Structure 1
Amino acid sequence: MRWFGYWDEGGQGVAENNSSFLKPLRQVCISTAFLFACCSLGTALSPNLASFFVFRILTAFEGTSFLIVGAAVLGDIYRPTERATAMGWFLSGTLIGPALGPFIGGIIVTYTSWRVIFYLQTALAAVGTILAYFLLPETIHQTKTHLLAGLPLRKQASVLARLTNPWRVIALFKYPPLTLISLCSSSLVWNMYSLLTPIRYVLNPRFGLTTPMQAGLFYLAPGAGYLAGTFVGGRWADHTTKKWIEIRGERVPEDRLRSGIPFLGVAIPASVLIYGWSVDQSVGGIPVPVICLFVQGVAQLFCFPSLNTYCLDVLPELGAEVIAGNYMVRYLFGAMGTAVVLPAVESIGVGWFSTISAGFMVVAALAAAATVKWGKGWRDAVDEKRRAARTQKMEGVAGEETAETARDARGGVAENGEKV
């Protein structure tokens, strides 16, 4: 069920981005926070498994809105040399939650009912709704509703369909850097969920644990890593950006990615390999997986702020769309990782599955390095093609108008009986 929720979150990212074209960001955030609370309460009160599934899907459908809208708000408020620091704090919640949630859930189901988990989630969502209502400012200067003013109904429908077309988001992947950065984000999410999902099934037998609460203690390690990384990951990305501004004399969005490449290509893969093979071969005690989970947690907070902030910087006028597309792809990989990890571990073992995940992240690091080196040229080439296509289209329209004017002129002369 969890993998389907992540797939649902990926699709919802595109939908919420489209709605933000027409509604203020504050309104979108508050309305989806309220609906998230309602769906969480519906999950807690579910009388049967079918209704539980429905409300969990709806909860995931609403939950992704905060990721898209929150990133867009940060892009509106903070300067490029400050965004990654703010993004680090923002993303810490999205990472610490999945890490600490199983620990808290383990305590709850050990001593009380599973429904209490969703009552707690409802309460947290209600607090978030109230805080958003009173504290969240409106940062968007103008929505696209002005494009509909004064148009006939049929034309309004046409413009509305164009503005909310999901292809607006998908079409951005014609930019190679955006495709490669989505691959980088996807490798991290794949690693995160394929690492966290099977902890109980992998570590309980390894260390003779018997209760959900005991297994939940292992989630504290990555949670502590995410928390520790919050304080330094975003700042490191902003520091790298400032450093390369001094070197180049200008800001190039791709330079920000340099801050995360060593962590994506070395620190996280090494931690995952040591974790996987130590568990697979029963080498070392409890400290080995705990340290590895902590280190990869810290390293992820050095990667995510630079990747997410790059999405805001690379096409500033389309930052929300770029973020939405990135989340769509990363959660598809998160869904796949969650779905395949248990069958894969049972089939090939946790060691070899960890090797596959580590290899995926090394490839992603190479993709990030390629984006740093050639990304600006790729973007310029795509923009040049788009400008040429627009120019050709405008020339074609102008030519048709000229030809039509000439035909009208000849027709008018013929009607007067004069020689054409």
Structure 2
Amino acid sequence: MADTDDTEASPLLRDIPPLRQHELVYEKFSPNYKRFLVAVVSWCGIMPYFISGSFVPSVPQMAKDLSTTAENVTLAISLSLLATSFGGLVSATYSTFYGRRCIFLIGLPLSMIGSYGVGAARTIPELLFWRFWQCIGVSPGIGVGAAVIGDIYKLEERGTALGFYAAGTMLGPALAPPIGGFIAYYASWRHLQYSIGIACLSAFLLIYFVFPETSHPGTRGIDKRRQAGYVERNRLPVFINPLQSLNLLRSPNVFWVSLAGSFALITDYVLLIPMSYTIGKRYGIGNEALVGACFLPSGLGNFVGSPIAGRISDKLVVYYKEKRGSWHPEDRLRVTILGSLIFAPLSVLGCGLVTRYVDGLVGLILCLVLLFVNGVGVVIALSPLSAYLVDILHSRSAEVVAASRGFRLLTLVPVSAAIMPMINERGFLMTSFCAALSCWVGFAITVITICYGNEMRNWKDIGYSTAESN
């Protein structure tokens, strides 16, 4: 009977093309369950943005409460970028070895403790110390979250899924400032931090009870060690250099698109970080809740732009693949041109001009419209970049996304620290012009990558994925 079964089964297996055999791994979860998993990782992805976005409207109140200056309080913003960057690298590296689920289960409790510490802080050093742990705990939400999407969606569907995932995470920038400003104004910025701790607890419980491991069978580092016959002599975790993911930046493709993303994000930071002292001060908005509401158009722009950019990038991949008869990963980047050439730079420059020359309600409305346009433009410039990185290094998707994001955040640490001093020294209009100029540099870098991406991959082979392994 066994021989008969083998005789009948073998031809059936041989009839399945190799590419189709690879795609079977993406059918492990039903479409509805995949959407549920996207919602879960989006909730985790909201956390870093919410923690960052809810902080800004509270800066004046925190400075007064801690008897310090706004410049000292905004150091916590730079520190949060550093912590999120470092935490993203650590979590991505270990998620490749141990899997995705356990990383979330370790990180979220750290953020819960850090949130309580921030809320109880009485001095700037205390605030910075607990802020570090608060941010490092939620750092897996971006890099590891994107890797989960890469685990469960195949190449032609990945951009759309990552677009909806990004849209979900962008609820953080959309909701954090108004919610943070409301709580800070009507209660206290300390109550806001305690609320963030409760939100981290809810995410932890969700991951613990309903979230499965999504890594493909046999692809984790620990699986490969066991397959090689390695015997674990103790229960201690394996030490892995958390900075090894940065080696992926040796790839010209990874480095250039990461740099282009940094330039696009500068426009976002220039508009949002000094909001209380630019748009708020210019149009007489002193209420933290109202200042927080001014952040809403930018977040809504992110929310609207993410799924659009993802769907268009998928369609471009399919279109050019059918047209050429082969897959070129850089085709996905074509949609980013709209964001980095037009929407993001012109909106930040326009906001600088409006705040300089247009008074009253008309000026405020124009600024809010431009904030929405900037939100759309930045996410169009950024969202396909993450999908592109997952495409070209699928087996190390968490690491490459974290390395890219870590690089972006590290480059933005000095930028975020310099924004307020530059506005005080040169004015908001000149600062906006410099941000627009940097975004156009990012546009040029993206165009070069689109045109010469294949040649650039040949300069430095770091184990790129192929159509068969995607």
Query: 2:101 matched to 1:29?
Result: no
Shift in CA distance, 166/210, structure 1 to aligned 2, threshold 3 Å: closer
Shift in CA distance, 232/153, structure 1 to aligned 2, threshold 3 Å: closer
- Map of 2:186 onto structure 1: 111
Aligned partners of 2:79 and 2:128 also within 8 Å: no
Aligned partners of 2:177 and 2:296 also within 8 Å: no
Query: 2:423 matched to 1:345?
Result: yes
- Map of 1:85 onto structure 2: 160
Query: 2:376 matched to 1:298?
Result: yes
Q: AA paired with 1:185?
A: G
Query: 2:145 matched to 1:145?
Result: no
Shift in CA distance, 346/46, structure 1 to aligned 2, threshold 3 Å: closer
C-alpha deviation, 1:87, in angstroms:
1.1
Distance 2:436 2:257 in 1: 17
- Map of 2:448 onto structure 1: 370
Distance 1:125 1:204 in 2: 30
C-alpha deviation, 1:49, in angstroms:
4.2
Aligned partners of 1:88 and 1:301 also within 8 Å: no
Shift in CA distance, 253/385, structure 1 to aligned 2, threshold 3 Å: closer
The one-character-per-residue Cα deviations of 1:364-417 (angstroms, maximum 9, x if unpaired) are 11111110110111102323999xxxxxxxxxxxxxxxxxxxxxxxxxxxxxxx
**Normalised TM-score (structure 2):** 0.76
C-alpha deviation, 1:147, in angstroms:
5.2
Aligned partners of 1:40 and 1:122 also within 8 Å: yes
Q: How does 1:372-391 map to 2 (within 5 A)?
A: 372-383=450-461
Aligned partners of 2:266 and 2:438 also within 8 Å: no
C-alpha deviation, 1:59, in angstroms:
1.1
Distance 1:108 1:348 in 2: 33
Q: How does 1:184-263 map to 2 (within 5 A)?
A: 184-263=260-339
C-alpha deviation, 1:243, in angstroms:
1.6
C-alpha deviation, 1:249, in angstroms:
1.5
| SS of residue paired to 2:450 | helix
Distance 1:231 1:317 in 2: 24
Q: How does 1:41-120 map to 2 (within 5 A)?
A: 41-46=116-121, 48-120=123-195
C-alpha deviation, 1:213, in angstroms:
1.8
Q: Which of 156, 165, 171 lines up with 2:241 in the alignment?
A: 165
C-alpha deviation, 1:146, in angstroms:
4.5
Distance 1:384 1:56 in 2: 35
Unaligned runs of 5+ in 1: 387-420
Q: AA paired with 2:333?
A: L
Distance 2:105 2:232 in 1: 29
Distance 1:263 1:13 in 2: 25
Give aligned-pair identity as a percent: 28
C-alpha deviation, 1:47, in angstroms:
5.2
- Map of 1:359 onto structure 2: 437
Shift in CA distance, 134/303, structure 1 to aligned 2, threshold 3 Å: farther
The one-character-per-residue Cα deviations of 1:313-370 (angstroms, maximum 9, x if unpaired) are 0122222221121011111133223211111111111111111111111111111111
Aligned partners of 2:345 and 2:437 also within 8 Å: yes
* Stretch deviating more after TM superposition (87-96 or 104-113): 87-96
| SS of residue paired to 1:260 | helix
The one-character-per-residue Cα deviations of 1:199-237 (angstroms, maximum 9, x if unpaired) are 110012211222212222211111221222234221122
| SS of residue paired to 2:205 | helix
Distance 2:342 2:127 in 1: 41
The one-character-per-residue Cα deviations of 1:4-28 (angstroms, maximum 9, x if unpaired) are 1101211222111222233221111
Aligned partners of 1:40 and 1:119 also within 8 Å: yes
The one-character-per-residue Cα deviations of 1:248-294 (angstroms, maximum 9, x if unpaired) are 11221111000111211111111111111211234652111011000
What RMSD, in angstroms, separates the aligned Cα atoms of the two structures? 2.5
Distance 2:383 2:156 in 1: 12
**Normalised TM-score (structure 1):** 0.85
Distance 2:349 2:195 in 1: 35
The one-character-per-residue Cα deviations of 1:63-122 (angstroms, maximum 9, x if unpaired) are 211111111111110011111111122223443313431221211121112111112211
Aligned partners of 1:176 and 1:379 also within 8 Å: yes
Q: How does 1:286-325 map to 2 (within 5 A)?
A: 286-325=364-403
| SS of residue paired to 1:3 | helix
Aligned partners of 1:99 and 1:196 also within 8 Å: no
Shift in CA distance, 318/21, structure 1 to aligned 2, threshold 3 Å: closer
| SS of residue paired to 1:137 | coil
Distance 1:193 1:186 in 2: 10
- Map of 2:406 onto structure 1: 328
- Map of 1:129 onto structure 2: 204
